[in-house]
Amino acid sequence: MRRRLVVIGNGMAGARAVEEILARGGAGLFDITMFGDEPYGNYNRIMLSHVLSGEESDADIFLNALPWYQQNNITLHVGVRVDRIDKFSKHVFAADGRVEPYDDLIIATGSRSHLPPMEGTYAPSGAVRHGVFTFRTLDDTRKMIQFANNEHHGRAVVIGGGLLGLEAAHGLQANGLDVAVVHSGRHLMNAQLGPDGGAILRRSVEALGIKVHTESRTTAILGTERITGVSLHDQRELDCDMVVVTAGIRPNVDVAVVSGLPVERGIVVDDHLRVMDEDHIFAVGSACSTAVRSTDWWRHCGSRPRCWPIKSPGRIVHRCTWGPGPPPN
Ligand SMILES: Cc1cc2nc3c(=O)[nH]c(=O)nc-3n(C[C@H](O)[C@H](O)[C@H](O)COP(=O)(O)OP(=O)(O)OC[C@H]3O[C@@H](n4cnc5c(N)ncnc54)[C@H](O)[C@@H]3O)c2cc1C
């Protein structure tokens, strides 16, 4: 008898897990239902940096557009968020009122951008202020491009000098902005590089015309009607029209927490990506963590990564991605 497989999250790991299941004859074994709270098919999130810089268009980065789901008899609830799992009756409950039964469940809810506490980040309504951006989704990227291309917006501050921050800085510069990166670490990409590598990277980034402020913490985003700058912990102020926050990510574990699943740094899985103490619930991608802690981005993804040098500031960092195909130029 066919089993009902439900996947929560239609990002890189969730969709790739389904591709792998289909490649192993899963179409004959499962009725597959996916929920994704982004309003799209599956796209290559890693390539958002190239979309921001204008090297790729939105359409170029789709891995599985909506027709792919139909062609593979997958029911995709696009733009629908799952709020809760009842692991005893084996149902998932979606925000649109849908209740979906499952025999096997994969949680692939990924991560979201972390916004560190800074005065001036939020409007009185509680929403993030106009002109303050995170860099995680296609919608984030589109909004940044639109804002950056407004003729009144000429300067950007990127908070966080990790890989994502440098890619954001490079992309914003490609949109014609004057960009400064504010990084709390002693050197850029301090999680991946030592001081010498960080110094080389800084020289390469500065040679591109991007200003770098290391050992600097942003305490406030300034301006009332519109963003006018940021203030740093040492009282310095940097003028800008927009702020992009790339100060780390947090796993999306809310659905697991409210459903009584084990969560530490992420959803806790064993070596088979099975959620601890659950026979029929699995978790893949950046929402999960093994019992052994790791800060490697790719380590917990549902498939094996490959790494290759990328075109980025300094060209000395590595991009990891999944699946076949040649390295990006
Ligand atoms: C610009 C950029 C560049 C990157 N570059 C690299 C790189 O070079 N190398 C590298 O290793 N990694 C890189 N990453 C990180 C990489 O993209 C992630 O590690 C990867 O996307 C994780 O896959 P995932 O499926 O776990 O999560 P995601 O791709 O984030 O997908 C999770 C999906 O689930 C959805 N979702 C969440 N909660 C729910 C819910 N309750 N119900 C329904 N849907 C839900 C989310 O909206 C999202 O669509 C980069 C990320 C960005 C943003």
Q: Which of 16, 46, 140, 142 for a ligand 1 pocket mutation test, highest count of atoms within 8 Å of Cβ?
A: 46
Return the CATH number at 100.
Answer: 3.50.50.60
Per-residue pLDDT tens over the stretch 152-187: 999 999 999 999 999 999 999 999 999 999 999 999
The alpha carbon dihedral of 171, 176, 181, 187 has a sign of positive
Chain centroid to Cα 38, Å, comes to 12
**C-alpha to C-alpha distance for 324 and 287, rounded to whole angstroms:** 23
Q: How many structural domains does the chain have? A: 2
Tell whether 44 and 18 lie within a shared domain. Answer: yes
- Decide: residue 54, CB within 10 A, 0-12 exposed, 13-18 middle, 19+ buried: exposed
Tell whether 146 and 213 lie within a shared domain. Answer: yes
Assess if residue 278 is contained within a domain: yes
Task: Tell me phi and psi for residue 251, to 5 degrees.
Answer: -65, 145
Residue 167: enclosing H or E segment and its boundaries?
helix 163-174
Assess if residue 328 is contained within a domain: no
- Which structure tokens are listed for 324? 């076949």
Matching residue, tokens 């800074």: 118
Per-residue confidence at 291, pLDDT binned at 50, 70, 90? low
**Closest by CA position to 110, among listed 277, 238, 300:** 300
Per-residue confidence at 1, pLDDT binned at 50, 70, 90? confident
Per-residue pLDDT tens over the stretch 190-225: 999 999 999 999 999 999 999 999 999 999 999 999
Last residue of a domain, one of 245, 264, 281: 245
| CA nearest ligand 1 atom 34, residue | 9
Residues with CB under 6 A from ligand 1: 8-14, 35-38, 45-46, 48-49, 81-82, 108-111, 135-136, 164, 167, 252, 255, 285-287, 297-298, 319-320
End-to-end CA distance of the chain: 46
